Amino acid sequence: MGATLPDPKHPWFQASDAPRVLAHRGLVPEGSTDLVENSFAAVAAAHAAGATYVESDCHVTVDGEVVLFHDDDLQRVAGDPRAVADVTFGELSVLMAGLGGVLTLTQALESFPTVRFNLDVKAPAAAEPVGRSVAAHSERVLLTSFSDERRHAALRAAVDAGAPVRPATSAGTRTITRLLLASGIRARRAVSRLLSDVDALQVPERHGRVPIVTPRLIETAHRHGVEIHVWTVNDPADMERLLDAGVDGLVTDRADIALPLAARRAA
């Protein structure tokens, strides 16, 4: 574990102590056949299980509604080959009616006022609408994206829409790649610059055979007040091992397992 623990200032982090459990796309209980990820019922299940943090994804429909949905298209979740961007909200509502119910970003923020949302902006067209939608709730939203450009566009839109505080944010792929290179050669000024506008690094434990989450990365992030959240961790032994290593959060499909484990750690 790094010698220095992060001291995040953004209100998003102050809802609970680390280790944090981020319910990945809500919670789909094992054996469930009547609800899918990112649905209203999945977020409700995560909330009922005690999740303070819910990780989700944002797309925008053809008629401009920001919805919680991971894939570009509807094939895997709803058996429809069309892209989310090509259907209306009404059409999506019909498709999701027997799968837990479609959930808009506005509905999520208003229906679950105690939940902290970790939102991945999946499409360029969603960036500005997402930012505007979360502006009034910015103290309990973290915005992220694999694309730093989309992430920054969403953050700017939130601020321009009158957010009382800038939403929290985690780094995109380009920033993380540059950070790993800078950390590897101990380029401290570059590391400080790269971490200056992020609150968290949300990363897989490894990329192929290349380790991402290392003692050096954890120590570097903590020294700059930045948390490390690892995705997607579903095995209890892996959860324990990563928490032993000093990570601050687990993004998991099994919030029902991770929450009691994290509670024991925090006690």
Question: Annotated catalytic sites, by residue?
Answer: 24, 70
Give ∠ CA 138-172-135 in degrees, rounded to 5: 15
How far apart CA 77 and CA 17 sit, in angstroms, is 34
* Gap between the terminal Cα atoms of the chain: 18
Q: Which helix (H) or strand (E) holds 78?
A: helix 75-78
How far apart CA 50 and CA 201 sit, in angstroms, is 24
Cβ neighbours for 128, distance < 8 A, ≥ 6 positions apart? 153, 154, 157
User: How does 138-176 read in b/e, with b if 16+ C-beta sit within 10 Å?
Assistant: bbbbbbbbebbebbbbbbebbbeeebeebbbbbbbeebb
